[in-house]
């Protein structure tokens, strides 16, 4: 059997590796436009900030490493067409067009940064960040700038803004909605991070879309906001979301939804012998019981493991997603899972919430820091969301809440759960327990 994989990102390369773990005979060929495979885009902000010394450090494997596993990697190669009847792809490498047959085709084409339709996005000094080469280009350019503006205050926007601050630039972070991280956090939780970013010298401009970028001598100079405010910056990063890359999927006739390719629990598309994983597909939301997007490296890798089982004829199932996320910006970690109160409201789910400020360690233990926990339950007390901000130990608690939501636990169930404790690492009553105890009181 020959498997052709289009895409060398987390989805594509993990599919290749996982098929090989399960089967030594299957022929596997990967195509990517990139100059690298097996790197972590998630680490780009930390190379820009110099926390990780070089971009080479975030490349985990080379094509030669894959060749040893009998996986063929084609770098800087564009797949331009797919003939699903002949089961054949057309690709262009070094300006030469060639064709290759497949038995099974995997679309792991990822996504492209969304570019808002406004004047000035083509000016010099305006960037998007998706690939390692984008990261290198941005870092080189930033070395000669004194100021930068980042538009879009999702996770990537915040991480890049902070990285620029670490490089010594004067940074403005803007978001058209009135809060940062609007997809994952409620406004009361966002405020805590907004305060921290401002205390670190990052200027925030919230609730105002940018309508135009103005330049001088073809270089970007000024961002113009909806209310007429103008902010000067020597470089501008557009981090205004990611759109699934669907060119080939549409060419083949794969069924698509609002955000991406529609796939089964086994990662099959609507076209026979064509599969898809990663940022280009829609996932099923565990809470909303409807399709959603889950453009996360973790989702891409889990989908790839499922697909490898499907392709090698094993029992496979990709579970619904909760979109658990975490990041660290400067001293502050923050994470979230499930729905925010705003998303719950938008989906007609009545929510009951409570927020507590606890500590990361026993009160008397040195360096105990505040830990803000917000828990969101539905009308029956079932946990449907959680948001946590602290200087340490956020990820493990988000994972606990992910498990709690997956298992359908209520706030009462969790308040009776056993948590490990020692003064340097927690409070005797865990911050999560304090939060669910508080929200439980609202049900009496
Ligand atoms: C700066 C940044 C930080 C991030 N941080 C996190 C994080 O902390 N945690 C997290 O979970 N996620 C994070 N993500 C998201 C995560 O990186 C993505 O969800 C993940 O990379 C998606 O993998 P993918 O394989 O679906 O797509 P991609 O990585 O985009 O790969 C798509 C591949 O398809 C190839 N391709 C597309 N079309 C063609 C074609 N026609 N011919 C040949 N090749 C083609 C591309 O060249 C590329 O190799 C971050 C992303 C960025 C950019």
Residue 379 is predicted with a pLDDT of 96
| Class of the domain covering 325-443 | alpha beta
pLDDT tens digits for range 263-312: 999 999 999 999 999 999 999 999 999 999 999 999 999 999 999 999 99
Residue 327 is predicted with a pLDDT of 97
Average pLDDT, the chain: 97
Q: How far is the CA of 2 from the centre of ligand 1 (A)?
A: 24
Mean pLDDT score, 57-83: 97
Sheet containing 170-175: give its strands across. 126-127, 235-238, 147-151, 170-175, 203-206
Rounded Cα gap, residues 336 and 177, in angstroms: 19
pLDDT tens digits for range 415-424: 999 999 999 9
Residue 444 has pLDDT above 90, yes or no: no
Rounded Cα gap, residues 335 and 415, in angstroms: 20
Rounded Cα gap, residues 92 and 275, in angstroms: 22
**Where in the sequence of the chain do the CATH 3.50.50.60 domains occur?**
2-39+60-111+243-311, 115-240, 325-443
Rounded Cα gap, residues 100 and 95, in angstroms: 16
Q: How far is the CA of 409 from the centre of ligand 1 (A)?
A: 33
Radius of gyration of the chain (CA): 23
Q: Nearest-5° angle of CA 51, CA 194, CA 286?
A: 85
Task: Say if pTM beats, i.e. exceeds, 0.75.
Answer: yes
Pocket of ligand 1 (CB under 6 A): 6-12, 31-34, 41-42, 44-45, 78-79, 108-111, 129-130, 156, 245, 248, 278-279, 295-298, 300, 327
pLDDT tens digits for range 385-398: 999 999 999 999 99
Residue 66 has pLDDT above 90, yes or no: yes
Q: What are the angstrom distances between the C-alpha of 355 and each of 45, 236, 337, 410, 433? A: 30, 36, 15, 16, 12
Rounded Cα gap, residues 337 and 48, in angstroms: 27
pLDDT tens digits for range 259-268: 999 999 999 9
Residue 254 has pLDDT above 90, yes or no: yes
Rounded Cα gap, residues 15 and 25, in angstroms: 15
Residue 442 has pLDDT above 80, yes or no: yes
Q: How do strand 235-238 and strand 126-127 relate by DSSP bridges? A: parallel
Assigned CATH for 115-240:
3.50.50.60
Which atom of ligand 1 approaches the CA of 280 most closely? 26
Name the least confident of 73-82, 151-160, 435-444: 435-444
Mean pLDDT score, 378-390: 97
Mean pLDDT score, 6-34: 98
Residue 33 is predicted with a pLDDT of 97
Residue 57 is predicted with a pLDDT of 96
Q: What is the DSSP string of 180-205?
A: SSTTT--HHHHHHHHHHHHHTT-EEE
* Burial label, 230 (beta-carbon count in 10 A; 0-12, 13-18, 19+): exposed
Per-residue pLDDT band for 316 (boundaries 50, 70, 90) equals very high
Structure tokens at 212: 């135009």
CATH of range 2-39+60-111+243-311; options 3.60.20.10, 3.50.50.60, 1.10.150.130, 3.90.1300.10: 3.50.50.60
Q: How far is the CA of 279 from the centre of ligand 1 (A)?
A: 7
Q: How far is the CA of 110 from the centre of ligand 1 (A)?
A: 5
Mapped onto helix, strand or coil, the DSSP state of residue 212 is: strand
Mean pLDDT score, 317-342: 97
Ligand 1 pocket test: which of 102, 181, 300, 336 has the largest number of ligand atoms within 8 Å of its C-beta? 300
Rounded Cα gap, residues 286 and 302, in angstroms: 15
Per-residue pLDDT band for 411 (boundaries 50, 70, 90) equals very high
Q: CB–CB of 88/100 below 8 Å?
A: yes
Query: Which residues are marked as active site?
Result: 42
């Amino acid at each position: 059997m020959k498997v052709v994989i289009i895409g060398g990102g987390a989805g594509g390369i993990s599919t290749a590796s996982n098929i090989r773990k399960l089967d030594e005979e299957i022929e596997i060929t990967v195509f990517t436009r990139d100059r690298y495979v097996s790197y972590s885009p998630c680490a780009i902000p930390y190379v820009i900030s110099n926390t990780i010394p070089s971009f080479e450090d975030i490349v985990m494997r080379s094509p030669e490493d894959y060749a040893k596993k009998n996986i063929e990697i084609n770098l800087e190669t564009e797949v331009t067409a797919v003939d699903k009847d002949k089961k054949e792809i057309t690709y262009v490498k070094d300006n030469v067009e060639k064709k290759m047959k497949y038995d099974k085709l995997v679309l792991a084409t990822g996504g492209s940064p969304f570019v808002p339709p406004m004047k000035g996005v083509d000016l010099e000094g305006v960037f998007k960040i998706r690939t390692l080469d984008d990261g290198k280009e941005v870092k080189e350019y930033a070395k000669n700038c004194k100021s930068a503006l980042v538009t879009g205050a999702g996770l990537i926007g915040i991480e890049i803004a902070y990285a620029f601050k670490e490089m010594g630039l004067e940074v403005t972070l803007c978001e058209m909605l009135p809060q940062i991280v609007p997809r994952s956090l409620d406004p009361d939780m966002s405020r805590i991070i907004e305060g921290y970013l401002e205390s670190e010298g990052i200027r925030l401009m919230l609730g105002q879309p940018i309508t135009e970028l103005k330049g001088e001598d073809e270089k970007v100079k000024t961002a113009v906001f909806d209310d007429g405010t103008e902010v000067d910056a020597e470089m501008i990063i557009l981090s205004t979301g990611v759109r699934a890359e669907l060119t080939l999927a549409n060419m083949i006739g794969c069924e698509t939804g609002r955000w991406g390719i529609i796939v089964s629990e086994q990662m099959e598309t609507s076209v026979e012998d064509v599969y898809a994983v990663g940022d280009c597909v829609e996932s099923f939301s565990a809470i909303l019981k409807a399709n959603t997007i889950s453009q996360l490296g973790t989702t891409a890798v889990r989908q790839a493991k499922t697909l490898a089982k499907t392709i090698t004829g094993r029992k496979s199932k990709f579970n619904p997603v909760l979109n658990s996320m975490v990041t660290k910006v400067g001293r502050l970690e923050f994470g979230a899972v499930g729905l925010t109160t705003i998303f719950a409201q938008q989906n007609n789910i009545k929510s009951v919430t409570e927020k507590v400020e606890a500590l990361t360690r026993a009160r008397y233990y040195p360096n105990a820091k505040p830990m803000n926990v917000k828990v969101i339950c539905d009308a029956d007390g079932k946990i449907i969301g959680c948001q946590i901000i602290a200087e340490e130990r956020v990820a493990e608690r988000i994972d606990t809440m992910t498990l709690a939501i997956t298992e359908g636990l209520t706030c009462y169930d969790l308040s009776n759960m056993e948590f490990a404790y020692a003064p340097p690492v927690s409070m005797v009553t865990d911050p999560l327990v304090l939060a669910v105890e508080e929200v439980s009181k609202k049900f009496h």
